[in-house]
Amino acid sequence: MNKKLLLAGLCLLLSPFLLFSQTDRILPQPKTLVAGEGQLNLQPGTVLLAESASARKSAHLFNGLLEVKTGFQLPVQQAAQTTTPVILLEEKIVDGNPEAYTLDITSEGIAIRGGSSGLFYGLQSLFQLVEMQGSEAMVPLVRIADAPAFGYRGIMLDVSRHFFSTEQVKKILDLMAQLKFNTMHWHLTDDQGWRLEIKKYPKLTEVGAWRDSTIIGQYYDFKPFIYDGEKHGGYYTQEEAREIVRYAADRHITVIPEIELPGHSSAVLAAYPEFGSFEVQGGAARGSIAAVNEKGEPLNNEISTQVPGYWGVHYNIYGPTPAAFGFLEDVLTEVMDIFPSEYIHIGGDEVPKDHWETSAIAQKVIKKEKLADEHELQSYFIQRIEQFLNKNGRKIIGWDEILEGGLAPNATVMSWRGEKGGIAAAKMGHDVIMTPNSHLYFDHYQAEDKSTEPLAIGGFLPLEKVYSYSPIPDALSEEEARHVLGVQANLWTEYIGSNQKMEYFLFPRALALAEVAWKTREEKDYASFIRERLPEQLRSLEAQGVFFRIPEAAVTISLDAAAGTHRVQIEPLVAGAKVYYTLDGHKADQTARLYTGPFLAPTPGSGQEPLVLRYITLTPEGRSSNEFQVPIE
């Protein structure tokens, strides 16, 4: 095939200046980018020339994005036509990395080269470069060579605490794909709900997928808890789960399922109490049991048969019994049939040992296997599951608690309680995914003044702190650092029960994470991120109907002591947004002053409090931010 790029329908417009404002909008920022002079008019007749089936699939997905932005799609062809202009998609591994790509927009035309994933990412970058100038779709002349710094770039979506539809999950996958994430960790089971159909055990979804009620407010707001009285739940059929897996794979995203064990199993034991640590007769467990209700009162030697509607660590856990292991192997067999991922996440976190301490069954296993204590029993439990998965060609990932009592031989550790667990695992020669709650728990508040924010679990995680994170701890040697596969943010949904709130907590922090996952520590630049890439990305998110948190503007205040004034400059971080402000201490809304450029603010006299700038940002679509306050001093 003649792969020469034909320009008959690509109109080349020369410009005397370098188009940095247009090329700098790609997020994550490419490794190398050289801006040329001029632009190309991307016309509807231009052909996406894609020889491989994978490239054609990526081309069609690109077209879906392009139509939203421009109103037209490009024809996709496998063979070149001599009179038709083309954008060449050549599937060819670049620098030995299937995720690397090159993108050339030159006077010779447009060409993207890379492996299957690389071509997909090159098209995402091309899409971000498209700019409507009146009715014309323009792209700048540019040469890009790009590749990710980390092979694992993930977001964990918890659908157990609150259930989300397949349509919403797909929307999040679409957004992840645009930002070049390649893994969705799907948290499908927990105390408050089981979300995946298992055909051999129908009560998992008949009983375990539903709770009668959910507490209102924060965990500590009301004692005893006050419940909303509304039944909540839902689950994905196996065909729906397969559809999510296919949808993600088309976007070069692997879905890793999480089936929690041996803790966080209240929803399972509500449906099948016989898989707990005590012999069950008529729904009651025989023998001493340390489970408690939300008031801290004993459960009177009974395993709760209700899916709980309150958060926190629950005492119900699987028993180390042949029946429980057989159940889990049956479940995981069906899970493996749905999810082709190399990894299966098995949880392993927050496992209270009270049941095992008082269970004759558990104590018998400890004695028989010559285990030191219940911690080693947890390790024994996880290693049994790992052996089963390894035999079936899969590997396990677990939260860093799986280090307790001895790490399973082939396990990958997901380090969430800071970096300590990840560092320890890497030094032991185990692979690690960094997801510390200090920097990457997206269920945390986004402002210090919590009264201005929606209800969250706690903590404070602003955009800048996310961006500051580096997945490679200083404590690791160069050899040990090779075990850090990458980075992941976690969105737990105890306090996130709607699509809009999910998007509010994910964005714009997921934009910062995209660069954390794609770039090295030395390549990142927060000032460049918030001024050059973030504004256009947020405008694009709004055009796609994403309910992101409108971030604080970049406010610069300088003092002219001689004149007794301050110069105030406000740069909204959403392209095309307006800012309304006050200086008199009163509320800022759309009746306040419209910011039109830097202004002078007086300095109060001796003994007077500083003035306070209060402002809101109004997006191009008319959404208002929270009100922000900055002292002028």
The yes-or-no verdict on residue 10 having pLDDT over 80 is no
pLDDT category, 284, cuts 50, 70, 90? low
Q: What is the pLDDT of residue 109?
A: 81
The yes-or-no verdict on residue 16 having pLDDT over 50 is no
Residues 6+ apart with CB under 8 A from 16: 37
Closest CA to 422 of 387, 474, 378, 345: 474
* Residue of higher predicted confidence among 44 and 155: 155
Q: What is the pLDDT of residue 606?
A: 82
Q: Residues 475-495: pLDDT tens digits?
A: 999 999 999 999 999 999 999
Residue matched to tokens 């089981």:
194
Cα separations (Å) of 509 from 226, 443, 462, 550? 32, 11, 8, 11
Give the containing element (helix H, strand E) for 50: strand 47-50
For every residue of 599-624, which 3-state class applies, written as one string?
EEEECCCCCCCCCEEEEEEECCCCCE
Please check whether residue 102 is in contact with residue 122, taking contact to mean a CB–CB distance below 8 angstroms: yes
Q: Residues 203-213: pLDDT tens digits?
A: 999 999 999 99
Cα separation, 424 vs 34, in Å, equals 41
Q: What is the pLDDT of residue 188?
A: 98
Cα separations (Å) of 40 from 25, 151, 172, 232, 457? 17, 33, 31, 52, 48
The yes-or-no verdict on residue 315 having pLDDT over 80 is yes
Q: Residues 253-281: pLDDT tens digits?
A: 999 999 999 999 999 999 999 999 887 76
Q: Residues 328-363: pLDDT tens digits?
A: 999 999 999 999 999 999 999 999 998 898 888 999
State the number of CA atoms in the 13 A half-sphere of 204 facing the CB. Answer: 24
Q: What is the pLDDT of residue 108?
A: 74
Please check whether residue 273 is in contact with residue 301, taking contact to mean a CB–CB distance below 8 angstroms: no
Look at the pTM and tell me if it is higher than 0.75. Answer: yes
Q: What is the pLDDT of residue 209?
A: 98
Q: State which amino acid sits at residue 437.
A: N
Q: What is the pLDDT of residue 6?
A: 34
Q: What is the pLDDT of residue 458?
A: 96
Token pair recorded at residue 481: 């650092």
Across residues 516-535, what is the average pLDDT? 96
Closest CA to 23 of 147, 113, 146: 146
Token pair recorded at residue 448: 């210090």
Q: What 3-state class would DSSP assign to 304?
A: coil
Cα separation, 278 vs 286, in Å, equals 6
Cα separation, 401 vs 378, in Å, equals 10
Distance spanning both ends of the chain, measured CA to CA: 67
pLDDT category, 282, cuts 50, 70, 90? low
What's the CA angle centered on 233, arms 232 and 235, to 5 degrees?
A: 170
Q: What is the pLDDT of residue 48?
A: 94
Q: What is the pLDDT of residue 295?
A: 54
Q: What is the pLDDT of residue 583?
A: 95
Q: State which amino acid sits at residue 40.
A: L
pLDDT category, 22, cuts 50, 70, 90? confident
Q: What 3-state class would DSSP assign to 141?
A: strand
Mean model confidence pLDDT for the chain: 91
Q: What is the pLDDT of residue 325?
A: 98
Closest CA to 581 of 543, 633, 551, 625: 625
Q: What is the pLDDT of residue 15?
A: 32
pLDDT category, 81, cuts 50, 70, 90? low
Per-position b or e across 490-524, b if 16+ CB within 10 A of its CB: bbbbbbbeebebbbbbbbbbbbbbbbbbbbeeeeb
Q: State which amino acid sits at residue 148.
A: P
Q: What is the pLDDT of residue 34?
A: 95
Least confident of 170-174, 351-355, 550-554: 351-355
From 136, 243, 294, 350, active-site residue: 350
From 104, 190, 260, 386, active-site residue: 190
Q: What is the pLDDT of residue 405?
A: 85
The yes-or-no verdict on residue 289 having pLDDT over 50 is no
Q: State which amino acid sits at residue 566.
A: H
Please check whether residue 181 is in contact with residue 155, taking contact to mean a CB–CB distance below 8 angstroms: yes
From 232, 252, 264, 566, active-site residue: 264
Q: Residues 411-423: pLDDT tens digits?
A: 999 999 999 999 9
pLDDT category, 578, cuts 50, 70, 90? very high
Q: Residues 503-517: pLDDT tens digits?
A: 999 999 999 999 999
Beta pairing, strands 86-91 & 47-50: parallel
Q: What is the pLDDT of residue 607?
A: 84
Closest CA to 559 of 550, 547, 569, 573: 569
pLDDT category, 19, cuts 50, 70, 90? very low
The yes-or-no verdict on residue 58 having pLDDT over 80 is yes
Query: Is 190 in the active site?
Result: yes
pLDDT category, 303, cuts 50, 70, 90? low
What's the CA angle centered on 351, arms 346 and 353, to 5 degrees?
A: 135
% of the chain at pLDDT higher than 70: 92
The yes-or-no verdict on residue 585 having pLDDT over 80 is yes
The most confident of 83-97, 345-359, 431-445, by mean pLDDT = 431-445
* Residue of higher predicted confidence among 633 and 427: 427
Query: Is 525 in the active site?
Result: no
Across residues 532-558, what is the average pLDDT? 96
Cα separations (Å) of 30 from 33, 37, 89, 153, 299? 6, 19, 18, 15, 57
pLDDT category, 533, cuts 50, 70, 90? very high
pLDDT category, 152, cuts 50, 70, 90? very high
Cα separation, 187 vs 155, in Å, equals 11
State the number of CA atoms in the 13 A half-sphere of 524 facing the CB. Answer: 23
Residue matched to tokens 């898989």:
275
Query: Is 350 in the active site?
Result: yes
